[in-house]
Structure 1
């Protein structure tokens, strides 16, 4: 018998002062049985950080990456089913990233493992020819602290200012300083 997804719900209060994005999206997260809290919370962080300022052409949504190998962790498809933004979480290989760059207007990777520098050194020469790709690293200790906020029902406040992200749930708060490994300025 196949294991089923565990459902999590997150109500976000997003205040991104760097991009002037203020919204309160609610998301239902189907957590794959093999997915850890850390990866799931990085997906939520990626959703908040990639939330579009203009939602008239749709929004960023959680996709079925662990169930469907041709889908990313998150994506923003407009109403014509064109992929506006493709978001990967973890350390995808260069072929997957280049394929995504061919399908989407922009591609973002959120890597969080301590081995990220080694992974990135191995693919940077292969993916540097595309101008659609942005790669972020969340320091491992910060992503682990973010994982500690995971609950089946979450009320998350996400505040972004000067490149620093604060994620709060109740009286707990985590400061995250993502490091841009590549991408447009």
Structure 2
């Protein structure tokens, strides 16, 4: 018998001063059995850092048609394609042809994530942005995960301040180009 996804709930107070986004969110995040806690934390952070009208989690970790997080406009068109982890160049190429903007959030070494894309055909590669966090930040957040989580997320001048279940963490949000 296959084990199903585990649901984690996040009650989030979001204050992204860099973008002028302030909101209270309640997120139900399904963690697939093959998904690590670090990946799920990164996916949740990507959702919050990209929060906009029309944002939603993708169909799942095994979906080839959707990214981990996406934003659709009122017509249903994908406007932002947000990958998490270390997507391959084919996914980036596909996503960048569908969406106006593409971003990758990774909990891994960004240089190692970007290196395999060198010389590969990726539509509009110069516009793709890769975001990473300081060493150990995502792992520290994953270590205090619970099934029900309370999270305060503040972003100012590309510095992220996170209080997750009473544990205060901070990290710069590093932005990298791929070309």
The answer as to 2:30 corresponding to 1:30 is yes
Post-superposition Cα deviations, 1:6-47, rounded to whole Å, max 9, x if no partner, equal 011111100011111101111111110111111111111101
Partner of 2:71: 76
Partner of 1:96: 91
Q: 2:111 aligns with which of 117, 128, 133?
A: 117
Normalised by the length of structure 2, the TM-score is: 0.91
Runs of 4+ in 1 over 2 A off after TM superposition: 124-132
Equivalent residue pairs, number: 177
Q: Which runs of 5+ in 2 are unaligned?
A: none
Give the distance between the partners of 2:31 and 2:3, measured in 1 at CA: 11
Post-superposition Cα deviations, 1:62-119, rounded to whole Å, max 9, x if no partner, equal 11231322221011112211001111101111111011000111111011124x3123
The answer as to 2:165 corresponding to 1:182 is no
Q: 1:62 aligns with which of 40, 57, 68?
A: 57
Q: Which moved more, 1:98-107 or 1:138-147?
A: 138-147
Counterpart of 1:24 in 2: which secondary structure? strand
Normalised by the length of structure 1, the TM-score is: 0.88
Q: Which runs of 5+ in 1 are unaligned?
A: none
For the aligned residue pairs, the C-alpha RMSD in angstroms reads 1.8
Query: 1:170, CA displacement in angstroms?
Result: 3.6
